[in-house]
Amino acid sequence: MLLKDRVAIITGGAGINGLGFATARQMAAQGARVAILDLERADPAGAAARLGDGHLGLVADVTDKPSCEAAAAAVLRAFGRIDALVNNAGITQAVGTLEIGGADYDRVLDVSLRGTLYMSQAVLPSMRRQQAGAIVCISSVSAQRGGGIFGGPHYSAAKAGVLGLARAMAREFGGDGIRINCVTPGLIETDITQGKLGPERKREISATIPLARLGRADDVAGACVFLASDLAGYCTGITLDVNGGMLIH
């Protein structure tokens, strides 16, 4: 087992069809004790219960620093350590540049970018004490190609910000044995995409992808398991594309 007795936190992990829950499931299957953090309405405790015994679900809003700190403290109380964090919480909004209002900008950047900073800040002190840890930040192909299929420019900016933040933190904390990496998913079928793509549009998009299909949540989860595990022991500051070849250039 790749994560035996490791403790992993996954933000935005309660959506049963989402990338976060798929990651939680795979990490639990690899022996990790998992803490799922999410908004109250997403029922993180219910999601954690689906993983079986010995996991934790906590209500936490990643845009709120005290909430992130309280969640990290609760995980430390329950499990005694934090080995991995997956910064997965994110929201999108499909509008063009001229339609982005100030409140839209704040909402979209706050969850992906501020949330990644606040949760990382909440776990880094304990990882530093351990002189070990792995943080995986979920960015997006949208950051690399200037828009995915659903996200507006503010979403691309938020996810590009995540790439820069992760690389800077990787540089700063490498000496403490803490690895910080990004995953850039392509178009993955989750609740974000459900109902928004008809079969014809799916076929059109698949035709542009070398692996000829949309992604599955488990495709991204596998990359997160790899980056959190010792298999990735010499990887830090990297961006791992999980997009079926959508961005080969």
User: In whole angstroms, how far apart are CA 217 and each of 2, 103, 165, 171?
Assistant: 19, 29, 24, 29
Q: Does 88 bind ligand NAD (CB under 6 A)?
A: yes
For residues 24 and 30, give the distance between their C-alpha atoms in angstroms, rounded to a whole number: 10
Stretch that binds ligand NAD, among 23-31, 38-46, 70-78, 125-133 (CB under 6 A): 38-46
One-letter amino acid of 96: G
**Beta carbons within 10 angstroms of residue 224's beta carbon:** 28
- Show which residues are catalytic: 155
Q: Does 89 bind ligand NAD (CB under 6 A)?
A: yes
For residues 15 and 41, give the distance between their C-alpha atoms in angstroms, rounded to a whole number: 10
Q: Does 71 bind ligand NAD (CB under 6 A)?
A: no
- Residue count, binding to ligand NAD (CB under 6 A): 29
User: In whole angstroms, how far apart are CA 181 and each of 11, 16, 85, 130, 138?
Assistant: 15, 24, 11, 19, 9
Stretch that binds ligand NAD, among 74-82, 89-97, 174-182, 195-203 (CB under 6 A): 89-97
DSSP at 18? S
User: In whole angstroms, how far apart are CA 110 and each of 22, 30, 58, 103, 175?
Assistant: 23, 31, 20, 10, 28
Stretch that binds ligand NAD, among 23-31, 36-44, 77-85, 166-174 (CB under 6 A): 36-44
Which position among 6, 15, 82, 178 is part of the footprint of ligand NAD (CB under 6 A)? 15
Binding mask 138-177 for ligand NAD (x = CB under 6 A): x-x-------------------------------------
Which position among 23, 25, 90, 156 is part of the footprint of ligand NAD (CB under 6 A)? 90
Q: Does 133 bind ligand NAD (CB under 6 A)?
A: no
Q: Does 244 bind ligand NAD (CB under 6 A)?
A: no
**Beta carbons within 10 angstroms of residue 110's beta carbon:** 17
User: Which residue of this chain has its Cβ atom nearest to ligand NAD in the complex?
Assistant: 90
Task: Tell me the two tokens of residue 106.
Answer: 């704040």
User: In whole angstroms, how far apart are CA 37 and each of 24, 216, 231?
Assistant: 11, 21, 25
At its nearest, how many Å lie between ligand NAD and the CB of residue 161?
12
Which position among 3, 11, 118, 173 is part of the footprint of ligand NAD (CB under 6 A)? 11
Print the SS3 string covering 126-185: HHHHHCCEEEEEECCHHHHHCCCCCCCHHHHHHHHHHHHHHHHHHHHHHHHCEEEEEEEE
Which position among 185, 209, 229, 246 is part of the footprint of ligand NAD (CB under 6 A)? 185
Cβ proximity to ligand NAD: between 176 and 218 the closer is 218
At its nearest, how many Å lie between ligand NAD and the CB of residue 216?
10
- Site residues for ligand NAD per CB under 6 A: 11-12, 14-15, 18-20, 38-39, 42, 61-63, 88-92, 111-112, 138, 140, 185, 187-188, 190-193
